[in-house]
Structure 1
Amino acid sequence: MSVKTYSKKKIGGVLLSANFKVAEFACHDGSDTVLISEELVALLQKIRDHFGKPVTINSAYRTATWNAKQGGAPKSQHLLGMAADISIAGVSPLTVAQYAEFLQPGAGGIGVYKSFTHVDVRSARTRWDSRSGTEKAVAGWLGYTEVSELDKAVDKLVSAGVIDSPDRWKSGNWTKRAVELLIIKMAAKV
């Protein structure tokens, strides 16, 4: 995927994906030019779709002057239009980082701060924790796992009152008699 150049004044309201507009990626210094990585937009859309909540882009593309004023790294991915500092209401920065790690385990940059998560789409892999105010390298942000189809089905049957003991059903260790009783209970609900 590539980085494209946009004009905030001319097409700032144009959607780049289902939920993100050009203007959201613009530098906060008021400049018109906006660099945006298509891969970054795709990553942010996946994060937004997963959490089902708006993703606030606190900072994306930065001019060199603005980056320096913000104390950004001299070779920041923000300068290339390949990074975004994001937050999601009601979702911790660590939780966002864990999902981003799931999406790009072998590449990209992911940093966790007190109030936001940094994500970028560089080809190399780098991770850091800045929640203490001092950046330290970390191995990664593990912890997210996809919910299996079985777990979703068990949760649905629990909420419908068909079964109890969801942990037993999610374990996959069932006797023939337990399955028979489940089928009888399900038939009674139909």
Structure 2
Amino acid sequence: MSVKSYSKRQSGGVKLSANFTVAEFACHDGSDTVMISGELVALLQKIRDHFGKPVTINSAYRTTAWNSKQGGAPKSQHLLGMAADITISGVPPLAVAQYAEFLQPKAGGIGVYQSFTHVDVRAVRTRWDSRSGSEKAVPGWPGYTEASELDKAVDRLVAAGVIDSPDRWKSGNWTKRAVELLIIKMAAKV
């Protein structure tokens, strides 16, 4: 996907995806031009869909002057419209980074800070930890694994009110009687 240029005044309310508009990516210096990578929008939408909560973009596109004023890197991906510093209420920055790592294991930039996560869609892979206040390179942010089909099925049965002890069912250690009772409960719901 390519980076597109928008006018905040003319297109600020334009929806780029189900949950993001042009205005959310605008530079905080009040300038009108907004550069936005479609790939970045797609990444943020996947993150939003996964956590089921709004993603707040603290900083996305930055003009050179604003980036310098903020102490940003001279070759920051923010200057290209390819980066965003984000938060999700109730979700630690590390958890966001771990999911972003799952989504883009071989490319992109992911940095973890005390109160936010930086994600970008550069072609090369880079990872860093700035939680201590000084940036240090790290090999990555492992930790997230996709739920198994069994876990997803158990979650659906919990939501439907069929079962009330998901941990027991996700463990895979069931007795014949437990399976019989589950079948009986499911049949009653049909």
Q: TM-score, normalised by structure 2?
A: 0.89
Residue-by-residue CA offset, 1:104-135 (whole Å, 9 max, x unaligned): 11110000001110000001001111011011
Residue matched to 2:113: 113
Structure 2 vs 1, CA of residues 187 and 85 (structure 1 numbering), >3 Å: closer, same or farther? same
Residue matched to 1:85: 85
Residue matched to 1:33: 33
Residue matched to 2:141: 141
Once the two structures are overlaid, the 10-residue window that deviates more, 68-77 or 139-148, is 139-148
Q: TM-score, normalised by structure 1?
A: 0.89
Q: What is the DSSP-based 3-state SS (H/G/I as helix, E as strand, rest coil) of the residue aligned with 1:89?
A: coil
Residue matched to 2:10: 10
Amino acid at match of 1:108: G
Structure 2 vs 1, CA of residues 37 and 175 (structure 1 numbering), >3 Å: closer, same or farther? same
Q: What is the DSSP-based 3-state SS (H/G/I as helix, E as strand, rest coil) of the residue aligned with 1:19?
A: coil
Amino acid at match of 1:127: R
Equivalent residues, number: 190
Structure 2 vs 1, CA of residues 104 and 163 (structure 1 numbering), >3 Å: closer, same or farther? same
Amino acid at match of 1:137: A
Aligned identity (percent) is: 87
Compute the displacement of 1:176 (Å).
5.8
Work out the CA distance in 2 between the residues paired with 1:133 and 1:125.
22
Residue-by-residue CA offset, 1:31-72 (whole Å, 9 max, x unaligned): 111111000011111111111111111100111111111110
> Structure 1: which 5+ residue stretches go unaligned?
none
Work out the CA distance in 2 between the residues paired with 1:164 and 1:67.
51
Work out the CA distance in 1 between the residues paired with 2:150 and 2:76.
42
Q: How does 1:1-190 map to 2 (within 5 A)?
A: 1-157=1-157, 166-172=166-172, 179-187=179-187, 190=190
Compute the displacement of 1:147 (Å).
1.7
Work out the CA distance in 1 between the residues paired with 2:119 and 2:146.
20
Q: What is the DSSP-based 3-state SS (H/G/I as helix, E as strand, rest coil) of the residue aligned with 1:154?
A: helix
Q: What is the DSSP-based 3-state SS (H/G/I as helix, E as strand, rest coil) of the residue aligned with 1:47?
A: helix
